[in-house]
Amino acid sequence: MAREGFIEVTGGRVWYRSVGDGGVPLLCLHGGPGFTHYYLEPLEALSDRRQVIFYDQLGCGRADRPDDPGLWTVDRFVEELAQVRDALGLGRLHLFGSSWGGMLAQQYVLDRRPELESLILCGSPASMVRWAEDCAELLAAQPGDVRRVIREHEEAGFTACPEYQAAILGFYREHVCRLVPWPAGLERSFAEAGYAVYNTMNGPSEFTVTGTLKTWDIMGRLGEISVPTLLIGGRHDECRPSHLEEMHRRIPGSQLAIIEDASHLCFAEQPEEFTALVNAFLAGAESQ
């Protein structure tokens, strides 16, 4: 039976959902920033062995949406994570982060040095500079007329235009989620996303990073991570395998898994392979 509720954090309330019982809990951090927990619903399959907890970060989904751009900082989201963990009494803990959620998890580990059983980074970069360069290469493979529409709309500042949104869809279908149709949880995440957060910190699209995260880069600090770490991504992920491979080389003792025929949402695209990989990793981390 699921348990749900609100938690007071700096700036307002976040909403959480907990499924499963027993085992060492797994706390799951969604991407965006501002993209809601709904697209992570396939991870509920892990709750047959442990408690699995999700929460909507401030500014999106069922969390409060304060009108204060000063709240949309990495440091405040790190503090929010610490507050959620404390409120839920999560002593022993595995931490999972998808995309931005993994960036947040890495910053939390580096800044707070928390006690953790393990860390799972799924399609999560360590450098937004590298991410932008990689996405530019992936975008170059899109048709010329699509690239022209994207370029002209971004130069004019018309990224909310339906024509722009239609043009970026090809990139998303190739590198974000390759399922047809898209899962309902992903659709709901787009519908209930906190675009004020996303636009402030990221920018107008996955491949055009103009927000405050534009220069975020912790690649040089990855050697400080001493928690058992699994890096996982899809072969066609916008967080490219070569990026994850470099992170793997820099994080001592880390493991790397690239899932074929999958992209950014590899846990939704290849759920059985993903679940088996994660369960095996978590069991191994707990036996150390």
Phi, psi angle pair for 141, to nearest 5°: -85, -10
Contact 196, 284 (CB under 8 A): no
Which of 99, 118, 254, 263 is an active site residue? 99
Which among 75, 73, 18 has a CA at the least distance from the CA of 50?
Answer: 18
The residues facing 26 across adjacent strands are 52, 94
Which of 94, 153, 243, 264 is an active site residue? 264
Give the Cα separation of 265 and 65 in Å (integer). Answer: 26
37 is catalytic: no
Give the Cα separation of 127 and 198 in Å (integer). Answer: 17
Total Cβ atoms within 10 A of residue 142: 17
254 is catalytic: no
86 is catalytic: no
Which of 47, 98, 124, 237 is an active site residue? 237
- Segment holding 229, helix H or strand E: strand 229-234
Give the Cα separation of 232 and 17 in Å (integer). Answer: 24
Known catalytic residues are 99, 237, 264
